[in-house]
Structure 1
Amino acid sequence: MSSQVKLEFDVEMTCQKCVKSIENALTGVEGVKSFNVDLDKGQVIVEGTAGSEMVKNIIEKTGKRAVLKGMGGTQDHLGAAVSIMEVGKDSVRGLIRFIQSDTDTLVIDGTVDGLIPGNKHAICVHECGDISDGCNSCGEVFTSNSSHKPAEGEFGDIIAGSDGRAEFRITSDRIKIWEMIGRSMIIHNCSSDRAHRPGQPDERISCGIIARSAGLFQNNKKICACDGVTQWDERYKPVAGPGRQANL
């Protein structure tokens, strides 16, 4: 199943030395198929299967600030979406992006902070984009066929590291991005008895509405319309925890 995507970053670069350092950092990285560094545009395009947060961290280890501006698949017109996980437990925050990389494959790319280290957490699309009563008003896990097991909206489990952060990249061929827009994404805390109740995740700890987002080369934003700060300052506003950026 194909899951190649292109990641578009704005990167602060001033000279060819910057370009070379980024090229050296990305060369030979597992999951990076190809890349292009454009000094004039301040832009880095990376194609492959590597997660966006991992690639961003690699670029920033060169000493250059980077902001993810867009993601796209082999057929960019198929769309992109995002869910900001900001409802539920105050300690759990995250950003999950969705790309329909081709007609058959959905890529789920996310970073979530504040999870219990080592615990399994299930991530699922739920029926309703209604967070009026927090995560409890989002309905059940989405499925177009009640007999389908697992449900189309179930993406499996993620596990946080010792710092409570989970970075993940998952693919699914059971649901399309256009079936998800306007619904909600929920992170469940799975109890130890979940093995005896498959398909029945437990406590809803964080959720967010799934909304359309910028695809590749579709985000020209330099100043956030919400708060008037530049993208370089906005990246420090907490979404997936202190110091995490949320450039949609």
Structure 2
Amino acid sequence: MSKCVNCIAFFDDDIKGTVSFHQCDKSSKVIVIFNLFGFKPNMTHAIHIHEFGDMSNGCMSLGKHFNLHNDEHGSLFIKNGKSHTGDLINNLHTDNKGYFKYSYTDPRLNIIGDISKSIIGRSVVIHEGIDDLGLGSNAESKITGNAGGRMTCAVIGHAKNGKL
């Protein structure tokens, strides 16, 4: 019998809310739920999972995009999954009140199993700019998607069972 695991990244700065992750066995896709607010209305921002949960220098000490397979930056939605493990949905688009609510399942992420492949203890970073999905004309596009500076961030940790 499988035990489901829930994780959460909690934002409590100018941007508030959560990014929640849920997985019931190591072969299942991870359900990702975004519930964020405090943005300017009708804006787009890049959002990714980064390598580390080290907040010793704020968002700057979180490393690069989480990238298990050394892939180029891309998008799950346009390159058949060939992208960084942590590219998530690449961009969030806020509504006319500055909210972003969305959920999807991600086949690249893992919570259960090998800890070196897990997202637990890593971080979610919201960037100032828009992710170009690795389609830009410069080298940085294939690394970061030209996502811009780090606007806010949160560490992914275990959540109480049942809490999403």
Residue 155 of structure 2 is matched in structure 1 by 209
Greater RCO (Cα-Cα under 8 Å, separation 6 or more): 2
Residue 115 of structure 1 is matched in structure 2 by 39
Q: Which amino acid aligns with 2:128?
A: N
Structure 1 vs Structure 2: percent identity of aligned residues?
26
RMSD (Å) for aligned C-alpha atoms: 2.4
CA distance in 2, matches of 1:192, 1:100: 26
- Cα offset, 1:188, TM superposition: 1.6
- Cα offset, 1:193, TM superposition: 6.4
Structure 2 unpaired stretches of 5+:
73-81, 113-117
- Cα offset, 1:143, TM superposition: 1.0
Residue 95 of structure 2 is matched in structure 1 by 161
Are residues 191 and 99 of structure 1, via their aligned partners in 2, closer, same or farther at CA, if it must alter by over 3 Å? closer
CA distance in 1, matches of 2:45, 2:161: 28
CA distance in 2, matches of 1:81, 1:192: 25
Residue 82 of structure 1 is matched in structure 2 by 8
- Cα offset, 1:116, TM superposition: 2.9
Deviations 1:188-236 (A, max 9, x none): 23248675236522221111111111223xx7xxxxxxxxxxxxxxxxx
8 Å contact from structure 2 (residues 46, 131) kept in 1: no
Question: Which of 15, 20, 24 is 1:92 aligned to?
Answer: 15
Q: Which amino acid aligns with 2:40?
A: I
1:151 aligns with 2:84: yes
8 Å contact from structure 2 (residues 45, 131) kept in 1: no
How many residues are treated as equivalent by the alignment? 141
Equivalent position SS for 1:153: helix
8 Å contact from structure 1 (residues 124, 154) kept in 2: yes
- Give runs of aligned pairs for residues 51-200 of structure 1, distance below 5 A: 77-86=3-12, 90-102=13-25, 103-147=27-71, 149-156=82-89, 157-178=91-112, 179-191=118-130, 196=136, 197=141, 199-200=144-145
Question: TM-score scaled to structure 1, two decimals?
Answer: 0.51
Are residues 114 and 209 of structure 1, via their aligned partners in 2, closer, same or farther at CA, if it must alter by over 3 Å? same
Q: Which amino acid aligns with 1:79?
A: V
Q: Which amino acid aligns with 2:85?
A: E
Equivalent position SS for 2:3: helix
CA distance in 2, matches of 1:129, 1:215: 21
Equivalent position SS for 1:162: coil
8 Å contact from structure 1 (residues 101, 107) kept in 2: no
- Rg larger for: 1
